[in-house]
Structure 1
Amino acid sequence: MATTLKRLLIGRPLKTREMGHAKIGVIKGMAVMTPDALSSVAYATDQMELILMSLIGAGSAKEYVSDVLGFSMMGTFIIVVLALLLFFAYRNIIYHYPLGGGAYAIGLNDLGKYWGLSAASTLIVGYTLTVAVSIAAGIDAIGPVVPLIGHHKLIANIVLTLIIMLINLRGTSESANVFVPFTYIFIGCILLLGVTAVVKAIMHPVSIHIPSVAGMHAVQGMGLFLFLRMFANGCSALTGVEAVSNSVPVFKDPSAFRAQRLLLTLVITLSVLFLIVSGTAVMHGLTYNADIPLINQESMLLFGTHGFGYIITVIVSVSTMCILAIAANTAFTGCPALWSAMARDGFMPRWLLHKGDRLVYSNGIVFLTFISLALTIGFHAQVSDLMPLYGVSVFYTFSVSQLGMVVRTVKERQRKWLYRTIGSGCGFALTAIACLIFGITRFTSGAWLVIVCVPLMILMFSKIQHHYQQIREDLKYDFSRPLQPDRHTITLVPIASVNKSSVHALEYALANFKNVVAVSVIAQNSQEEADETERVLREQWARLNSGVRLVVIHSQYRSVARRLQRFVDLELDRYEPEDITVVVPQFITKSWWHKLLHNKTGSVLMAWLILGKSVKVLAVPYRLPR
């Protein structure tokens, strides 16, 4: 039943040779890799205006409001320039690390182990927050239009997260097929918003308020630190840019070339959409509203709230919700791929290394889902509460990647290396400033959690690597030690009575081992019952005529497992652990509830032997027919 349900939900298993069909090109890549970055334009301008709200008083004139918002436009232009610098940095990272890994790979190889692990830690935090923030922002976007969702935000967040998880478990190509229309509809809606804003500005120039330099100078209370805070919040528009470099192997060959093309397309599209949203807000003096995001305000203003215009407004709201929700898909693609790269290097558990039935990292997808749901529930699906954690983690990874490219460029000193060094250096300075501002200004709001968690995660990754290294050392065979096939060994077969299950295990032991000894522990409520049980057992054993020695042990404390454990300890005084084999008979009941009617002596004994001793343990199952 479980297999049938799994097939129904995620589809049939794919063979390894079908890998080529599971990979994607640039068009589908826009749906899989870019929603995180593109969706950030839906809240980046809001986050900048949130900082500027302290400068806008009640009843302020539209001209003054536009002058204040002019700083958000200035921040937008700087962020667009930073996006171009990030493009050049990540284009080189894709070229040098075609197996993926992004900031983690460049930090590990060009800056050192702990730089790489710190970048990986913040990337993981960023990815998990991408799922939580994106879906929460998506639900917020549709809330004003669909009140039922708005009243049950947390439940809607959980359900939507699980739906996106299932879609991703079906495979990269199939998830791309689902998300492609939503991605391009959102891009079309924002472009339509921009065209409409320009047309209305030309038709009604009186309603447009362009900030002036003099007006911006006259704004009271605007200082460098406040501008840096606003800039840091606006840099959330750059989240997700690094996802392409983390997941290069999911592209069709030549994968690096396709990834670079997608990265360029992403940066250009992101810059245009961000300029449209910020520019429209500034021209019309639209300010931050905790209940209605700016994109919703702009669509209501430009298209209206009645008739056909309302339909367009709803489409814009729904497309915004969809792009915000499927932005989580970027994390479902990038984070499991990052974990796989780390597992390959020994920093993450091995079960995150390989792909599942649908040629995606299924274990990583499920693991990411549970972490993200924990964050969503813990922070009550509030975007403003999650953003401080998001900002510090994202911009630290940007800083590591930029610094890594500076170091690599200086080492290699190829053609035009000085220009590339200056560009990467400027990118490092800007992203480091954004990271620092986020860390300082939002420390008490939640950024402390990232600052505390990252060193703990680095310690955990190092411990995992140390464990795997120790395992390799412990398992390494000493070829100077001769192989000894004729060693003196003993095989123990615990039996409760002479029955089909115990005889089945005994036959297996006799066919594969020498020096077999049967052991039976008698645990009765009285000595008379114990003596009678032993008499019957020895009579049946004699009739069996197996030629195997039977050892009968009486348990005064009526504990079978403990007496068997004591017997194994006594044998360990005579034999080396590797020379003792315990063959445990086990009968398997037909129905699940039958298991509740039987004790677990065999299972307890096996668990004790496996966890506490170094002897060899074998289970010989006998399936009951009814």
Structure 2
Amino acid sequence: MRRRSDKLSGIVKAFRFLDIDFDSNVEKKSFPQGSIRSTLSLCFAGKPFLNAASAGYSTIDIWGICILATTLKRLLIGRPLKTRESGHSKIGVLKGMAVMTPDALSSVAYATDQMELILASVVGATSAKAYISDVLGFSMLGTFIIVALAFLLYLAYRGIIHEYPRGGGAYAIGLHDLGKFWGLSAASTLIVGYTLTVAVSIAAGIDAIGPVVPFIGHHKLLANVILTLIIMVINLRGTSESANVFVPFTYIFIGCIIALGVTAVVRAIQNPAAIHVPSLAGMHAVQGMSLFLFLRMFANGCSALTGVEAVSNSVPIFKAPSPLRAQRLLLTLVITLSLLFLIVSGTAMLHGLTYNPDVPLINQESMVLFGTHGLGYIITVIISVSTMCILAIAANTAFTGCPALWSSMARDGFMPRWLLHKGDRLVYSNGIVFLTLISLALTIGFHARVNELMPLYGVSVFYTFSVSQLGMVVRTIRRREGKWLTRAIGSACGLALTAGACLIFGITRFTSGAWLVIVCVPLMVITFSKIQRHYQQVREDLKYDFSRPLKPDRDTITLVPIASINKSSVHALEYALANFKHVVAVSVVSGNSPEEELEAEKKIRAQWDKLNAGVRLVVIHSQYRSVARRIQRFVELELDFYDPEDITVVVPQFITKRWWHKLLHNKTGSVLMAWLVLNKSVKVLAVPYRLPR
């Protein structure tokens, strides 16, 4: 008895810990309306919570497990937030830099690497520093073009934020200005891009820290999975809290790259002989450099622009006025991104640093500028760790932007409704968990290799950019407001560059994985269209015809399947008689011979007569020993006389005390209920009876 009371006391304490309104007077037997006690009392088949506890019901153990799970959830995620607290979960420009920009800022950690990957074949085996710097001059030229493209994208997305303050970005402008296909295809590539952002960013972050922390380098896949789950939990706590966690890392990374650039300039001034600046003549003399190779390099370098669109997708998460703050953040992002990209590419060119698959360029630059011993090594480690952190938290941009995009699509009927609603912490929890599962599948499937994931990344990102630029061109020409021609030309230039990058990625990396995006996007568009069509059909099917008169006194029939006369079946029969008029009991008998079937029928009828229920009993013989199928056939016969909505089947079910007891009983009632619900559209009710032992 003491053990049971201790168990009850522990549960009460757990409720108090969870800040649940539970009456401190545990001896009370009356439960306030709407309290947790009244809810629990319903779960015990109408018995008061304390009575159930004193009886030692196993449900107490189940509730204890549920409370423990809830407690752990609260410890990890925090207390639920009320709807009126949504203002506290919104962010400004300062926190926005931590939530919305890491994806774009972190791309400078691998964008120059991706350009030099293409130039590696031109560099060859030569060690002539002047020649290498001339080759790297092309990467610097590509960097300047990409920076110009970044400002064109800023102008485009600035307009999108103004026109679509509810978010959606390229999806919204494609859907409303270009048509359904363009909007859904942009959404498809955005989803691919966001899921790849998580996989690529975390994989690149682990690669960045691998050279200085050998243990992580030897267990990359495990480190990727653990880090993904950690970022998921942080995002489940809420947008504002995730910003609080990531703000220091974002600004430390920015400071590290700026320090890298300042040091590079100082070293160049102190020792100009060690620096080689490429010349036009030297670049012209480079052997093997073609226009197509330059375009491939440019397309790879455009990965520095990934994440720019995230701000336009998540405008509602900003404090009022949301569009204005989003536009300010977008401008700050483009300026900061351009500066960091120029520093990384410029330092690599000045010092003749080339692509190394094992050591990223930022690590090489820090080692060259600060050294690998003493204080210089400490600075190198700090830069490596900050790079890893910004690459890892770049996934945070996807955890913010993708669920918001899915919510916009769910609002329009293109995604499941469960992605529309916010969770306890006023974030799209379902979308965050769903994104985590997809990203983990990609990470494991591609073994966390950045080079294998990048082809999928490039095509999806730049198709999205192209749709947004095309949408702005069409919208500007259609409205013709203000200096529309200048804006249209700017958007057209951006369209040409982004579409070219997308085309180059698709052609050159087709066999490396880009084909997967080209195949998946049309399939996703078809899926989204089918989802919308389903919701439209549901609305049509549920639309009530008000010209039809309401008939409360309709001719109905209620069927109660019974296997034998026992407490469970009688409990269900009493419920049916108390709530319905025309009740019929149905029993199925079977045997190894006709004589055994007749004997079974006599037995059930004798028990029925003794019950004296005043209800007609129908006994059905089953030669194939299939109880559920025979009852299904009986329901089909009744459908010849009644409409489906006029038939109710009340199914008796008994609930065992121990979980393993369930393995000892057949599931005839469950199979019958599933078949009736899925196939016959009749009303089905389950009346449970809980076994005490």
User: TM-score, structure 1 length as denominator?
Assistant: 0.97
C-alpha distance in 2, partners of 1:13/1:372? 26
Question: Which stretches in structure 1 are left out of the alignment for 5+ residues?
Answer: none
Which amino acid in 2 is paired with 1:476? K
State how 1:148-227 maps to structure 2 within 5 Å. Answer: 148-227=215-294
Distance 1:496 1:163 in 2: 52
Match of 2:622 in 1: 555
Q: In the TM superposition, what is the alpha-carbon distance from 1:532 to its structure 2 partner? A: 5.2
SS at match of 1:43: helix
Distance in 2 between residues matched to 1:387 and 1:216, nearest whole Å: 28
CA deviation string 1:434-466 (max 9, x = no partner)? 111111111111111111111111111111111
- Please state how far the C-alpha of 1:318 moved relative to its aligned partner: 0.8
- Aligned partners of 2:661 and 2:137: how far apart in 1? 73
Identity %: 85
Among candidates 358, 364, 386, match of residue 425 of structure 2: 358
Which one-letter code corresponds to 1:508 in the other structure?
Y
Secondary structure of residue in 2 paired with 1:354: coil
The separation in 2 between residues aligned to 1:466 and 1:318, in whole angstroms, is 48
Match of 2:317 among 224, 247, 250: 250
1:230 aligns with 2:230: no
- 1:533 to partner: Cα distance: 4.6
**Are 1:544 and 2:611 counterparts?**
yes
Counterpart among 655, 660, 669 of residue 602 in structure 1? 669
Find the aligned partners of 2:235 and 2:366 in 1 and give their Cα distance. Answer: 31
* 2:439 aligned partner: 372
Is 1:572 the counterpart of 2:630 in the alignment? no
Query: How do 1:310-349 and structure 2 match up within 5 A?
Result: 310-349=377-416
Partners of 2:261 and 2:690 lie apart in 1 by 70
Counterparts of 1:100 and 1:59 in 2: how far apart (Å)? 50
Q: Which residue of the partner structure matches residue 496 of structure 1?
A: 563
Out of 11, 18, 38, the residue aligned to residue 78 of structure 2 is 11
Q: 1:52 aligns with which of 119, 123, 137?
A: 119
| 1:560 to partner: Cα distance | 1.4
Contact between 2:506 and 2:514, CA under 8 Å: does it hold in 1? Answer: yes
Pairing partner for 1:272 from 335, 339, 347: 339
Provide, for residues 530-570 of structure 1, a one-character-per-residue CA deviation record: whole Å limited to 9, x for no partner.
55554443344334332221222232322211121121112
Using the alignment, how far apart are the partners of 1:47 and 1:517 within structure 2? 74
Determine the structure 2 residue equivalent to 1:593. 660
Bigger relative contact order, structure 1 or 2 (CA pairs below 8 A, ≥6 apart):
1
Deviates more, 1:465-474 or 1:188-197: 465-474
Deviation digits for residues 247-272 of structure 1, max 9, x if unmatched? 11111111111111111111111111
Decide whether the 8 Å contact of 2:115 with 2:301 is kept in 1: yes
Q: Match for residue 511 of structure 2? A: 444
Give me the whole-angstrom Cα distance separating, in 2, the residues matched to 1:392 and 1:276: 26
2-side partners of 1:537 and 1:517: how far apart?
A: 15
Which whole-Å CA distance do the structure 1 matches of 2:220 and 2:657 have between them?
44
State the shift of 1:322 in Å.
Answer: 0.9
Counterpart among 135, 138, 162 of residue 71 in structure 1: 138
Aligned to 1:480: 547
Contact 1:525 1:558 in 2 (8 A): no
1:88 aligns with 2:155: yes
Q: For the residues of structure 1 that align with 2:574 and 2:466, how far apart are their CA atoms?
A: 66
1:23 Cα offset (Å): 1.5
Of stretches 487-496 and 473-482 in structure 1, the one that deviates more from structure 2 is 473-482
Q: Which amino acid aligns with 1:263?
A: L
Distance (Å, rounded) in 2 between the aligned partners of 1:527 and 1:356: 59
Contact kept, 8 Å, 1:102 with 1:242, in 2: the verdict is yes
In the alignment, which of 442, 455, 478 is matched to residue 388 of structure 1?
Answer: 455
Letter of the structure 1 residue corresponding to residue 508 of structure 2: T
Q: Decide which of 507, 512, 535 is 2:579's aligned counterpart.
A: 512
Cα offsets for 1:475-501 (capped at 9, x unmatched): 222222222222211000112222232
Residue of structure 1 in register with 2:475 after alignment: 408
CA contact (8 A) 2:584 2:618 kept: yes
Residues 42-94 of structure 1 show CA distances to partners (whole Å, capped at 9, x for unaligned) of 00000011111111121331111111101111111111111111111111101
Output the CA distance in 2 between the equivalents of 1:14 and 1:625. Answer: 39
Q: Indicate the larger mover: 412-421 or 297-306.
A: 412-421
How much has 1:526 moved relative to structure 2? 5.8
Paired position in structure 2 for 1:456: 523
3-state SS, counterpart of residue 650 of structure 2: strand
- Per-residue CA distance 1:594-616 (angstroms, 9 max, x = gap): 21111111100001101111111
SS at match of 2:107: helix
Question: 2:106 and 2:660 mapped to 1: Cα distance?
Answer: 50
| Residue range with higher mean Cα deviation, 475-484 or 24-33 | 475-484
Equivalent residues of 1:86, 1:427 under 8 A apart: yes
Given that 1:582 and 1:617 are in contact with CA atoms closer than 8 Å, whether structure 2 keeps it comes out as: yes
Q: After TM superposition, give the deviation of residue 529 of structure 1 in Å.
A: 5.7
C-alpha distance in structure 2 between counterparts of 1:474 and 1:144, whole Å: 61
Change (3 A) 1:50 1:359: same
- Work out which of the residue numbers 632, 650, 663 in structure 2 matches 1:583: 650
Residues in 2 aligned to 1:227 and 1:57: alpha-carbon distance in whole angstroms: 16
Looking at structure 2, the residues matched to 591 and 86 of structure 1 have their Cα atoms a distance apart, in angstroms, of 62
2:195 is aligned, of 122, 128, 139, to 128
1:625 & 1:304 partners in 2: Cα distance? 74
Counterpart residue type for residue 110 of structure 1: D
Distance 1:261 1:103 in 2: 19
Asked if 1 retains the 8 angstrom alpha-carbon contact of 2:106 and 2:387, the reply is: yes
- Between the aligned partners of 2:198 and 2:386, the Cα distance in structure 1 is 17
Say if 1:70 and 1:282, in contact at 8 Å, map to a contact too: yes
Deviates more, 1:112-121 or 1:549-558: 549-558
Higher mean Cα deviation, 323-332 or 587-596?
A: 587-596
For residue 10 of structure 1, report the CA deviation from its aligned partner: 2.1
Please give the secondary structure, in 2, of the residue aligned with 1:504.
Answer: helix
* CA distance in 1 between partners of 2:509 and 2:269 (Å): 41
Q: CA contact under 8 A between 2:590 and 2:600: conserved in structure 1?
A: no
Asked whether the equivalents of residues 336 and 361 of structure 1 are also in contact (C-alpha less than 8 Å), the reply is: yes
Q: State whether residues 493 and 583 of structure 1, in contact with CA within 8 Å, keep that contact through their aligned partners in structure 2.
A: yes
Could you tell me how far apart the structure 1 residues matched to 2:561 and 2:687 are? 11
What's the RMSD between the two structures over aligned residues?
Answer: 1.5
Within the candidate set 490, 497, 505, 1:423 is matched to: 490
Q: Which stretch of the first structure deviates more once superposed, 479-488 or 141-150?
A: 479-488
Give ranges in structure 2 of 5+ residues lacking alignment: 1-64
Tell me the amino acid that sits aligned with residue 568 of structure 1: V
Give the aligned residue type for 2:305: L
Post-superposition CA distance 1:193-231 (Å, at most 9, x none) = 111111111111111111111111111121211111111
Residues in 2 aligned to 1:553 and 1:208: alpha-carbon distance in whole angstroms: 96
> Secondary structure of the residue that 2:426 maps to in structure 1?
coil
Q: 1:290 aligns with which of 340, 357, 368?
A: 357
